[in-house]
Structures are given as C-alpha cells and as structure tokens.
Amino acid sequence: MSGSLAAMTDKRNGKYRTAGILAVIVIGLFLFTIFSGLK
Amino acid sequence: MSDAAHAHDDHSHGHPSGIMRWLTTTNHKDIGTMYLWFALIMLFSAGTMALLIRAELFQPGLQITHPDFFNQLTTMHGLIMIFGAIMPAFSGFANWQVPLMIGAPDMAFPRMNNWAFWLLPVAATMLMASFLLPGGAVAGGWTMYPPLFIQGGISYDLTILAVHIMGLSSIMGSINIATTILNMRAPGLTLMKMPLFVWTWLITAYLLIATMPVLAGAVTMLLTDRNFGTHFFNAAGGGDPVMFQHIFWFFGHPEVYILILPAFGIVSQIIPTFARKPLFGYASMVYATASIAILSFTVWAHHMFAVGMPVAAQLFFMFSTMLIAVPTGVKIFNWVATMWKGSLTFETPMLFAIAFVCLFTIGGFSGLVLAIAPVDIQLQDTYYVVAHFHYVLVSGALFSIFAGIYYWLPKWTGHMYNETLGKWHFWLSVIGMNILFFPMHFLGLAGMPRRIPDYALQFTEFNQIATYGAFIFGFSQLIFLVLVLKTIKGGAKATDRVWEGAEGLEWTLPSPAPYHTFETAPVVK
C-alpha cells in the first residue's frame, strides 16, 4: 500500500517532464510546418 | 465518505465569490462547467446562423440575406460550431470527468487549465465582432483557403488571430489532459483498466498535440502573406495555394477524429450502463481507437481529389480512407454486441447513444461513398458532402454530447433531470435532424452545390423539407436549455450511483460531486 502511494507520488512529480516533452513536440511541429512552407 | 469529510470538501477555502470566482478558479469542476456553458452559448449562436441559412434556402431566389452575408454565415457557422461548440464541449467533459474517473484531485496544471478556458471567450468575441467590421465577417469558408483568405479585409486578420488563440487554448488543454491521464492516475489504475472515455481523450489529446501546431503554422503563413509580403501561398510570387490545402487537411482530417473520438468514449460509457453488461471487447476498442487516430494522418488528400493528383496518390488516399472503416466497424460491432442480450432500458442518455450508433453509421457510409475518388470528383462541393459531415457531426458528435450531459448531469448537479422533457428533446431532435439532413443526400446527388444562397427550381422541394427539419431541430434545443436549467435549480435527489448499471470511480462519490474530490487517492484493485 505505502509502496504504491510512493510510486503514485513519483509519477505525479513527473508531470512537468511529460508536459515539457509534449510542449517541445508542439513547438517542433510548428517550426517544421513553417520550414516546409519555405522550401 | 463520512459527512464530516463532505463538510470539508464542500467549501472553497476562501476563494473569491461572484464573477471573480469564475475568472480565477482553478477547480476542474468549475472550469468544466464554464466550458460546457460556453459551448452551449456558441451552439445557439452558430445554430441561429444555421437557421438563417436554412430560411434563405427555403425557396429559390434571394429572400433575406445578401449573397456575401450568406457566405459569412456559412463560414462563421462552421468555424464557431467546430472551435466554439463541439471542441469546448468535449473539453468540458474532460475537465469534469477525467479527474473523477482516474481518482485524481484535479487536473495536472490547474492554473494553465484556467488560462486555456479563458482564451476561448476572447477568441470567440473576436470572431463574432468581425461581423461588425467594414466588409463584414470572413466569407471564404471555414477552411480558410487562399487566395480568398489572402485577399479579404480586416476581418480575415482578426479570424486568423482568433484561430491562433483557439489553437493555443486547445494545445494547453490537451497537454494538460494528456499529462493528467499519464501522471495523475490512482494507484492500481493501469492504462488498460482506464474507462474508455479516458482512453479516447488521451488519444484525442495526442491528435491535438500533433495537429494544432500544423494549423498554427498554416495560418501564420497566411498572416505573413497578408501583412508581411511573403508568398507562401501566392502563385504570383512563386507560392503554391495547393500547398495550403495539403497543410490544412493534414490538420483537418485528424480534426474530424478530434471531434468524434471523445464521442466514442462517451457512448462506450453509456451503452454498458444501460445494457447492464461490461463493454464487449474493451481491448479491441482501445486498439481500434488508436488505429483510427494513426490512420487519420494518412488520408488528408481525400478532401482535395479535385485539385488533381497522380493516380497512384488517388489510389493511396482512397484505400487508406476506406481502411478507417475497419477499426470503426470494430467499434460499431462492439457497441451492438454489448447491447446483445443485455437488460436494456431506454433512458434519455441511452436513446441518444443508440441514435448515435445508427445515425453515425449513416454518416460513415456516406464517407465511404465519398472516399471513392471518381465519385468524389462528381460530388465535390455538393450537398451530399454537407449531408455526410452533418450526419457525422450532429448525430455523431452533438448527440453524444447530449447523451453525456443527460448521463452525468445528476452527478454534477445532484438532481435527476426530467425524463419526460428529455424524451421530448430526444425525439424532436432525432426526427428534426433526419428531416433536415437526409434530403441533402438527394440534393447533392442531383447536383446542388453548397455555399450558395440561390438555386435552380428543381431543388425547391427537398430544400423546403430540409428547412422544416432545421426549425424543428433548432427549436427543440430550447427544451434542452429548459431541462438543464430546471435540473440545476432542483428536482428529485440523485443517488450516488445514479444509474443501476453504472461502474467506475465517479459513481463512488456523492451526488453532486463535492468541490474537492479524491484528495486522498483511491486504490483500484
């Protein structure tokens, strides 16, 4: 029980990393779209 | 939960009251409520535009609108229904339900959640205000194709900016929802134990993350073509207007699934409840949803067969489009199999869910017809296409939203809705909707083009029937408004579980769900 709660806390603390990765994907796709238009 | 625990949960820790409560709230339930009300206001706004369109088309010749205003109405109807009504409504469901269904205390980023919502009224105001500008609102179609969108007046800049803002809102919302689902689940709630609604929203969030930046890039290029002398899409300067169509539809087709996957999730929650059986083929539903999402990136050019492309490309896009029917068929089969030999009852959520399964299938089949390249070239820009996507988006997306609201409203408000009013709303909607959109198949097959305020005499009868249907459908939504207001105000007390066959964490909470929930995470076996 306490082990699973500790795992949950770890997982919840990982939210910034998840959001950061998704934000990088968003910015990359935006720039790639503009770059495609430049060619 | 004990009463003492409820007493703690029900107050809001000295948060501001009145308008400041709603402006500054970071509570997922408040924000979900705001999304749903915003969507309802936009539904009525864009619905009024639709009634004006249908009134104009009641008979041939020009009756009540100038042709340019007619084009403004069709364009704004599309933009507002998609970005203002359907997408925010599903975001409202996600805000209310995802934390409750996964046992999380709130969304992963509550402050960003507040921002994501409040960007929407700003963008919607900009869109609506463009009607008041010189030259009126945008009239080039919701697809924003150049060269029209490069040549228009100031309202085109305002619309591009509004699309940017709405896109930013969607991106913030989808990152929040994906992170919430991936990082905030209760202990023991593995991915393959998640309710289908949560699964469909996770996949929808990925679709949004992958496509909204592409739309943002496309409209940014439109903006620089209009204002900074670039020639991305201007053929006179060496640009390519067809490239816009490719980029737009690379966003636009997955967007269709952004509008329908959460609907699949809602229906997948409702049918097992009222069939009193577990969902048939849970794992196959998850894989089918993921397959639809992946395939949706491979079909975009079926929206533009008429621009001309190599036969090999036509064949590729034709067959990849048809391939989507396979996972979609799996889902339809599973919903029917869930109902098979179930102890069915037909409360309003179930009626809307069954109507969804039947009528969305009609929209899917007409989509298969349009997938055939030589047929599509005949039917391109006719009312057959209008009939097709309204069967998908009205009897598909909108009916699932109604189903979801009837299903969860007792949990949100603590009161049962009036079943008689609900059934009136359902039957008038389903009859009105079919009278409205079914004749459009015949109009399209007979060659009536879309986006025109006038038409040849031979199209009169079917247009008149469609207009009768539009007004039946449109005015029956007032019943829904009355029902929602009555349910918020009072009514029979809802039990915690609300529906006999309901399963899931949200039904373990009291009705109405307290302001703060799952501050201590539940453990899922």
Residue B48 included in any domain: yes
Structure tokens belonging to residue B50: 């639709």
The answer to whether residue A36 neighbours chain B at the CB level (below 8 Å) is: yes
Residue B9 included in any domain: yes
Structure tokens belonging to residue B42: 């936009």
CB nearest to B108's CB, from A7, A15, A33: A15
Q: Do A15 and B183 touch (CB under 8 A)?
A: yes
B184: nearest CA in chain A?
A: A12
The CATH number given to whatever domain includes residue B285 is 1.20.210.10
The answer for residues whose C-beta is within 8 angstroms of residue B75's C-beta and 6 or more apart is B137, B138, B139, B140, B141, B142
Q: How far away is chain A from the Cα of B433, in angstroms, using its nearest Cα?
A: 38
Q: How far away is chain B from the Cα of A24, in angstroms, using its nearest Cα?
A: 10
Q: Do A29 and B214 touch (CB under 8 A)?
A: yes
The answer to whether residue A21 neighbours chain B at the CB level (below 8 Å) is: no
Residue B521 included in any domain: no
Render pLDDT for B68-99 as a digit per residue (tens, 0 to 9).
999 999 999 999 999 999 999 999 999 999 99
From chain A, pick out residues whose CB is under 8 angstroms from the CB of B243. Answer: 37
CB nearest to A15's CB, from B179, B217, B220: B179
Q: Is residue B5 over pLDDT 80?
A: no
Q: Do A25 and B210 touch (CB under 8 A)?
A: yes
Structural domain count, chain B: 1
**In the predicted model, what is the mean pLDDT of residues B258-280?**
98
How many other β-carbons are positioned within 10 Å of the β-carbon of residue B477? 19
From chain B, pick out residues whose CB is under 8 angstroms from the CB of A39. Answer: none
Q: Which amino acid, residue B525?
A: K
Alpha helices in B3-27 (DSSP H): 3-9, 19-24
The answer for residues whose C-beta is within 8 angstroms of residue B40's C-beta and 6 or more apart is B85, B89, B481, B484
**In the predicted model, what is the mean pLDDT of residues B499-524?**
94
Q: What are the Cα distances from residue B8, in Å, to B409, B413, B498, B517, B519?
A: 23, 18, 23, 10, 11
Q: Using an 8 Å Cβ cutoff, are B66 and B72 in contact?
A: no
Active site residues of B: 77, 106, 142, 169-170, 253, 255, 257, 268, 302-303, 328, 331, 450
Give the span between the Cα atoms of B402 and B120, in whole angstroms.
Answer: 21
**In the predicted model, what is the mean pLDDT of residues B335-361?**
97
B205: nearest CA in chain A?
A: A22
ipTM score over 0.95, yes or no: no
The answer to whether residue A1 neighbours chain B at the CB level (below 8 Å) is: yes
Q: Is residue B156 over pLDDT 60?
A: yes
Render pLDDT for B216-264 as a digit per residue (tens, 0 to 9).
999 999 999 999 999 999 999 999 999 999 999 999 999 999 999 999 9
What is B353-416 written as a DSSP string? HHHHHHHHHHHHHHHHHHHSHHHHHHHTTBHHHHHHHHHHIIIIIIHHHHHHHHHHHHHHHSB-
Output B460-465 pairs: Cβ under 8 A, ≥24 positions apart.
B460/B59, B460/B60, B463/B57, B463/B58, B463/B59, B463/B439, B464/B58, B464/B59, B465/B435, B465/B439
Give the span between the Cα atoms of A34 and B3, in whole angstroms.
Answer: 57
Give the span between the Cα atoms of B376 and B302, in whole angstroms.
Answer: 8
Structure tokens belonging to residue B294: 């992946």
Q: Do A26 and B171 touch (CB under 8 A)?
A: yes
Residue B523 included in any domain: no
Q: Do A22 and B175 touch (CB under 8 A)?
A: yes
Give the span between the Cα atoms of B112 and B93, in whole angstroms.
Answer: 17
pLDDT for position B159: 96
Q: Which domain holds residue B174?
A: 4-508
Render pLDDT for B201-220 as a digit per residue (tens, 0 to 9).
999 999 999 999 999 999 99
Q: Is residue B2 over pLDDT 70?
A: no
Residue B278 included in any domain: yes
From chain A, pick out residues whose CB is under 8 angstroms from the CB of B523. Answer: 1, 4
**In the predicted model, what is the mean pLDDT of residues B349-360?**
98
Strand-pair partners of B3: none
Render pLDDT for B279-293 as a digit per residue (tens, 0 to 9).
999 999 999 999 999
**In the predicted model, what is the mean pLDDT of residues B391-417?**
98
Mean of the per-residue pLDDT values of chain B: 95
Residue B345 included in any domain: yes
From chain A, pick out residues whose CB is under 8 angstroms from the CB of B216. Answer: 30, 33
What is B186-248 written as a DSSP string? PTT--GGGS-HHHHHHHHHHHHHHHHHHHHHHHHHHHHHHHHS---SS-GGGT--HHHHHHHH
Q: In 3D, which of B293, B360, B367 has the Cα closest to residue B327?
A: B293
pLDDT band at B14 (very low <50, low <70, confident <90, very high): low
Residue B516 included in any domain: no
Separation of first and last alpha carbons in chain B:
18
Residue B525 included in any domain: no
Structure tokens belonging to residue B255: 């967007």
The upper half-sphere exposure of residue B117, i.e. CA atoms within 13 Å in the direction of its Cβ, equals: 31
User: A34: helix, coil or strand?
Assistant: helix
pLDDT for position A38: 84
